[in-house]
Structure 1
Amino acid sequence: MEMQKEPVGDLQLHQVLRMNEGDGDNSYSNNSLLQKKVILKAKPILQETIVQLYSKSFPECITMADMGCSSGPNTFLPIWEVLEAIDESSRKLNRKPPILQVFLNDLPGNDFNSIFRSLPSFHKKLEEEMGGEFGPCFIAAMPGNFYRRLFPPRSLHFVHSSYTLQWFSEVLEIPLNKGNIYLAKTSPPGVHKAYLNQYEKDFTAFLRSRSEEMIPGGCMVLTIYGRDENSDSSAKHSPTIWDFFGMMLNDMELEVTTPENHKLSM
């Protein structure tokens, strides 16, 4: 199987790429348990970062951006973890909690509507669990491609991103990756190089954009999906969902292209 060679237009790709919306059986909201586990596992690092950030400068308002927020319950998990850290830290220091301004970022096709329909219950939970005296939390959307500039210079205190930076900014034009639909152990060196080059390009663009948008002393917590290319992948490789998905697609292609099926369809 050969990857698509005709590039998808930049604007077109960003308009159509999104997670499944709503809360149905096939929605991202109901099929993101792994992403939830990752956010919860990274919670101590996130909260330690927020405590350090707040304790150094005591800003009146902490501005946070969550890059690749998607939609559903997971969207609010990092915000809640930040609020818990602020609440605990301000209590220990006997200071008034700061305001939290949160910008939720994802591509324009993201299901922002479901996020904002959930805001009343989120604010109700915030008031019930942290009290009416806790600093307000303002939540807004910032649709756009996070590999580009999104915010004014020196406007962000904290940037969070979980399991999103493995997405490329554009469709790759790569050599023949026969039998594979992703970067597999059997992919030729040229395919590995193409993936690496695109990742370096995208990640550099991400860091360059954030470096202009963040205040001096600002912090980031980035959780990135990856693998150890230095390990003996041929010995340790075990089938993944992408292997099985690729097998199914290859079988479907063979069924369509076999001479017997051509005769049946005539």
Structure 2
Amino acid sequence: MRRLLFVLFIAACSSISVAGESIKPQRIASLNLCLDALLLKLVEPARINSLTYLSGNPQFSPFAQQAQHYYLNRGLAEDLVPRNPDLVLAGDFGAGDTKVLLSQLGFSVETLSLPRTLADISEHLHRFGELTGSEIAAEKMVRELEMQLTRLDADSSKPIPAFWYASNSYVVGADTLENELMTRAGFHNLALDKHLSGFARLDLEDLILAQPQVIIVESSDVQAFSLAQEYVQHPALRKNNMRIIKLPATLSVCIAPIAAEVIENLIQQKKSLVN
């Protein structure tokens, strides 16, 4: 056992270089669902060594079918050590013991903090590109996002009162990326009028009394697991002529990789409301 660990330690500690110049990592593993998404979007398939098992579950992942073509790990060192990755990507939370153990064994483990604002996304993508050797693809994604934000800044139409309604009767308040997205897209978040921050509970009665013109929800194929999906069918909402905007399912799991698509979606749906 000690001999095996020593061999793995030497293999993992070996710097991947040619004539002193670093090259792209060729066996990248991820311990984070959001980083899985970036790997699938920005890195060539041949260089993806492993993704998290959550990526293969359609309840949590919008790219489940694509992810199932890869080795799916459960965040355990036992899953990754035999695969000898040359780069392991992780988030701030989760798989803490695994990150420590892999680092002790000499594997290259990098932790990327997930973005909390739109401004954070560009830095997050650039850092991801540097670590994975996908700088060009990451820069392209950054430019696309910046173009979308420029379009939003040019929109001078009156904001539309709205709630972003999540599962189990939660609304999105201040200090969230979702709030920033809907605000920049031209919606007035009524949760801010109630001084709500983060994800806060709001009864259906209070939601109706606030008289939103729009409710933003995530569509889901697993409707039984989402009270938000049930509430948007309530007769009281239809009676008050509230419009429902449905965004892609599992959006709240990872917004950063698809921020530009979400913005475009909100722009188009807002246009349909005012035309």
TM range (shorter): under 0.3
TM-score (norm 2): 0.25
Highest relative contact order (Cα 8 Å, sep 6+), 1 or 2? 1
TM-score (norm 1): 0.25
